[in-house]
Structure 1
C-alpha cells in the first residue's frame, strides 16, 4: 500500500524569508538559515521516503516559497486544479508547477485569473475519498469551490478560516486514515465547526489545543497509520497512539518562520479517485446598493457584513458619482457556503438597503399565522427603514414601519394590505413574510444629500463630544424653529434627571413657546416635577439650595397623594392646586402627554398607564407624524421610542452616559445624533440659542 504513495517536494535551494505574506513571517525577515532549512528538509525527505516515493520539481531562483509544494495545485485522479496564488510574491510559481503537471500527464484545469485558490494547502481530501474539505477566508475564495466540485467530480464541503495565523486549511486541519480528523477548532467559525461535527463522529475527532496548533501539529503528512509532524505535545502523541497511529516528529523550525511545516512541504500527487456526488452547496446572489456609498461608509458596511457573516464577495461593478451630490451605485456578487448562511447574510444586507438583482422578481415567502400572537419560524424582523415586499409580481409598501416587528399580509376586499406588526398583534387569517427573499428596504438619499450641504448636519449617527455641544445645539435650535414655523411636530421624551438638574424651567419655556407638541416619559418625571412645583424639592432635595430637607424623603409620596386626591393632573391644574412646572405647562397649552409606568413606581399617579401594552400603543400614537424627537436623559423610554420610530425622523438623544446615546445611534439612522452632556446644561444652551434666533438676548 505505501509503495503506491507518491509525494512531490522541492528542495530549499532558494528558500528565504524576505517578505511578509502571513503572520509567521512578521519579525523573521532575513532571519532564516538556508543551511538549517536544508538539513531539516533532508531529514523530512529521509523520513517520508521510508513510506512513499518522493518526486522533486526543480527549484527556481526568485521564488523562495516554491519549497511549499502543497500550494502548487490540487490533484485527484488524473485531474489537477492549478493554484491561483493570492499574493504576487508567489504568482510566479504557477507556470513552473503547470509545466510539471503537464509533463506528468495530468489534465490541468485553470481557474479564472481573479479567483484565488491555493491548492492542497486549502483543499484536503477525506482519507476515505468520500468528499473534499475546502477552506476559504484568507488565501482561497469561496467561489473557487464549485469549480473543484465540477472538475474533480467530488462533493465539496466549505470551511471558513477566521484566525489569520492559520491562513491555509492544512495549517489547522488534517484528515487521517479511517475517517479520523486532527484539527484545531479555534481556527474556524461556528458554522464550520458545526459542519465538521456533522460529518465526523465524536470518537474520530481529535481536537487539539492552541499550544499544539501553533507548533503546526495539524500540518502533518499522513501515510496509512504514520503521522509525520514538526512537533507534538505528549498528550497529543498519546491520543494518536491510542487510536492506532504512530506519530513521528521531525523538527521544521526554519520553515515555521515562513508559516509552513511538514504538510506544506509536500504534495501527494496520486490521490485516488472514488465516485462521489459532484456537489457544492455554495450559494450566489448579486445585490445592488445605491446612495452616497463612500461618504456614509455604506459600501464598507456591506462588505464587512458579508465577510463577518461567513460569506465572500466580488465587486462586479462600481459607478462612483461624478459630482459631490451624485449617488453611487455598486453591484456585488455575494457567495455563501450554503443556503442557511446566505439567508442570514441577505437578511442583514436588505436591512442596509441592498436589493437583489435578478431577471425575474423573486416573490416573498409567506407563511400563514396558525396561532394568534405568534409568528412562523424564520420570520423577517423589520427595521426602521421603509420596506417593500414582492407579492404577485408587484412591490407593495409596508405600512406602519417600525423596528423589531414582523411583516403581516392580510387579504381584504380592496386587495392585499401589508403592515408591520408587533408579534403580539398577529392574527389568524394573516400571513407573515419569512426569510429574506422578495424584500427590499430604501434609504432616503435625499436626506443624505441635504446633510452633505448643511454646515451643521446629523451625518453618521455619531455621538457628539463635549466640545461640539454648542454646534449641535445651534443646529437643533434652527430645526426647532423651522418645525414650529411650518406647523410640524416635535416630541420630547424626558426622564426625571431633567428635574434634578434644574432643566425644568427650560423645558417649561419650550412648551410655552410652542416648540413641544407631545411629551413622553415615565411616572417619575411627572412626580418629581409636581413635587418641585408643590414643595420646591426633587427627591427631597431643595432645588434652590441643593440641600436635603428634613422629612423630604416623603415629599414625592405627598405629591402623588395630592394628585390622586384631585383625580388627575389636569384636575389639579383646574382646581388651582398645581400652578407651575412641566406638567402644568402641558395642561395649560394643551400639549398631550403619556406616562408609562413600571414595577418600581410609587403610587402611581392616576394619569400613569400601568398596562405596558396600552402605554406602548399610546406612545406610538403620539410620535406618529413627528419631525423631531428630543430624548432627554431617559434610557428605557428613549430606546423604546427609538424602536417604534421609522427612518426619516430626526432624533437627538442627550445623556451624560455615553452608553445610552450610543445605543440610540446604533440604530443606523443618519438623522440621529447622540449628545454626551448634562441635560440641564443642554437645555440652558438650547434656550440661549433660541433667544438669539428670536432677537431676545436677556438671560433666562
Structure 2
C-alpha cells in the first residue's frame, strides 16, 4: 500500500529561457560542442516544463536570458535561498561567471537579503535544503564545482547546519544530478555518486530515502523538482518514476532531450525561491 501525501503550500520558482542556449564549450562530461543543439526544440521543451509547474499551482518567475551566456538556462546554479536570505553563486568556470550578476539583480529588485559569496559555489547545483530535518538542514556537495570552504560560508550566511557530501564521479558533477529533496524529511539519491563516507552519512540521516540505480541516475532522473507530492522528472527515468509512485508520490514526466546536451535536466533549469515566512 502506498503512502498518501498532501502537498505543501505552492512554491515559487525561477527559470531562464534557452533563448541563447548552445553547447559552445565543454565544462562537464555531458557537453560536446560537436553535437548540434536544436534551440527551437529546446525552447519548446523548456516551455512545457514551465507550464507543467504552473499547472501544478506554482509560481514561476522568468529571468531574462543574456547574450553570450549559453548556460544561463540552468537557473538553479545562480544562487541558493533559505527564508528570504540568498547566498550568491561564485562560478568556478569563467564562461559562467557573469550569470551571478543577473541573479543578484533579480533578488535585489525584489527586496531579498542577498549575500555575495567569497567562496566558489554554484548555488542550488550543490546545495539542497531539507526543512524538516534538524530544524532545517543544508546538504552540500563538493568535489568538482563547489569548494568545501563555501559550505562553512553558507552556514554562516543562512544560519542552518550544513552537511558536506563528497562527489566522486565526474558525471555527477553537481549535487543536484545525484540527490533530490522529495519533501520536508525525505530525499532520493544515487549512492554511487558519493564517497563511501558520504554514503554512510546519507544512510544514517535518511534511512527511508528512495534510491536510484545507475540507469535512472545517468538519465538525469534525480535532477528533479518535487513539491512534496508531485515529482517532475525526466521522462527517461522510468524506473525511478515507478519507485517514487510506490513511495506515494505522483511522478510527472517531462522530456528535456536538448537541455540534457548541456549536462542538465529539470532541476538545473529551476531555482526554488524560499521567501521569509510571514510574520505572525
Whether TM exceeds 0.5 here: the answer is yes
Q: CA deviation at 1:152?
A: 0.4
Which is worse superposed, 122-131 or 17-26?
Answer: 122-131
Query: Partner residue of 2:49?
Result: 44
1:355-434 equivalences in 2 (<5 Å): none
Q: Of 148, 159, 164, which aligns to 2:154?
A: 148
CA contact (8 A) 1:19 1:29 kept: no
Distance 1:187 1:138 in 2: 12
C-alpha separation in 2, matches of 1:208 and 1:24: 19
Residue 80 of structure 1 aligns with which residue? Answer: 86
The alignment partner of 1:66 has SS state of: coil
Please report how far the alpha carbon of residue 242 of structure 1 lies from its aligned counterpart in structure 2 after TM superposition. 1.6
What's 1:220 paired with? 224
Superimposed CA distance per residue, residues 50-108 of structure 1 (whole angstroms, 9 cap, x where no aligned partner): 12101011110000111111001000112101100000000011111111111111111
User: Structure 2 CA distance, aligned partners of 1:127 and 1:262?
Assistant: 21
Do 1:230 and 1:262's aligned partners in 2 also have CA atoms closer than 8 Å?
yes
SS of alignment partner, residue 72 of structure 2: helix
Among 88, 97, 107, the alignment partner of 1:101 is: 107
Alignment partner, residue 110 of structure 1: 116
Paired with 1:19 and 1:84, the residues of 2 have a C-alpha distance of 19
Quick one: which of 244, 248, 256 aligns to 2:252? 248
Unaligned runs of 5+ in 2: 1-6
The answer to whether the aligner puts 1:125 opposite 2:129 as a matched pair is yes
Query: Closer, same or farther in 2 for the Cα pair 1:223/1:132, shift >3 Å?
Result: same
Provide closer, same or farther for how the CA distance between residues 272 and 214 of structure 1 changes in structure 2, counting only shifts above 3 A.
Answer: farther
The 1-side partners of 2:190 and 2:275 are apart by 24
In terms of Rg, which structure is larger?
Answer: 1
Q: Which residues in structure 2 correspond to 1:248-647 (within 5 Å)? A: 248-270=252-274
Secondary structure, aligned partner of 2:121: coil
Structure 2 vs 1, CA of residues 127 and 216 (structure 1 numbering), >3 Å: closer, same or farther? Answer: farther
Q: Shift of residue 29 of structure 1? A: 3.7
Q: Residues 216 and 231 of structure 1 are in contact (CA less than 8 Å); yes or no, is this contact kept in structure 2?
A: no
Per-residue deviation at 1:224? 2.2
Check conservation: 2:77, 2:122, Cα contact below 8 A. yes
Q: Retained in 2: the 8 A contact 1:160–1:189?
A: yes
Q: Secondary structure at the match of 2:23?
A: coil
Aligned residue in 1 for 2:74: 68
Q: Residue 259 of structure 2 aligns to a residue in which SS?
A: helix
Q: Is the 8 A contact 1:12 1:59 kept in 2?
A: yes
Map of 2:3 onto structure 1: none
Deviations 1:16-71 (A, max 9, x none): 11111100003x44511101100100110111111210101111000011111100
Please tell me whether the aligned partners of residues 5 and 53 of structure 1 are also in contact (alpha carbons under 8 angstroms).
Answer: yes
Q: Give the match's secondary structure for 1:4.
A: coil
Instruction: Give the corresponding residue for 2:19.
Output: 13
Among 197, 207, 210, the residue aligned to 1:206: 210
Partner of 2:4: none
Q: Sort the Cα spacing of 1:117 and 1:39 in 2 relative to 1 into closer, same or farther, 3 A.
A: same
Q: 1:131 to 1:228 in 2, by over 3 A?
A: same
Tell me the secondary structure at the aligned position of residue 67 of structure 1.
Answer: coil
- 4+ runs deviating over 3 angstroms: 1-4, 232-235
* Separation in structure 1 between the aligned mates of residue 268 and residue 260 of structure 2, nearest angstrom: 10
- Do the aligned residues in 2 keep the contact of 1:20 with 1:29 (CA within 8 Å)? no
The corresponding residue for 1:519 is none
Normalising to structure 2: TM-score of the pair? 0.92
Give the superposition deviation at 1:180.
Answer: 1.9
Shift of 1:236: 2.4
CA distance in 1, matches of 2:184, 2:236: 21
Q: 1:197 aligns to what?
A: 203
- Structure 1 residues 146, 178: CA separation in 2 closer, same or farther (over 3 Å shift)? closer
Alignment partners' CA distance in 2, 1:261 and 1:117:
19
Q: Tell whether the 8 Å contact from 1:70 to 1:120 is kept in structure 2 after alignment.
A: yes
Asked if residue 159 in structure 1 is aligned to residue 165 in structure 2, the reply is yes
Q: Which whole-Å CA distance do the structure 2 matches of 1:152 and 1:235 have between them? A: 35
Residue deviations 1:627-675, cap 9 Å, x none?
xxxxxxxxxxxxxxxxxxxxxxxxxxxxxxxxxxxxxxxxxxxxxxxxx
Over the residues paired in the alignment, what is the CA RMSD in angstroms? 1.5
Q: Contact 2:130/2:184 (CA < 8 Å) preserved in 1?
A: no
Residue 178 of structure 1: how far off its partner (Å):
4.4
Corresponding residue SS for 1:249:
strand
Judged with a 3 Å threshold, the aligned counterparts in structure 2 of structure 1 residues 43 and 158 are, in CA distance, closer, same or farther, namely same
Secondary structure of the 2:267 match is: coil
**Is the contact between residue 227 and residue 245 of structure 1 (CA under 8 Å) also seen in structure 2?**
yes
Distance 2:10 2:183 in 1: 15
1:107, 1:271 → 2: CA distance? 10
Aligned partners of 2:85 and 2:276 also within 8 Å: no
Structure 2 Cα separation of the partners of residues 67 and 94 of structure 1: 13
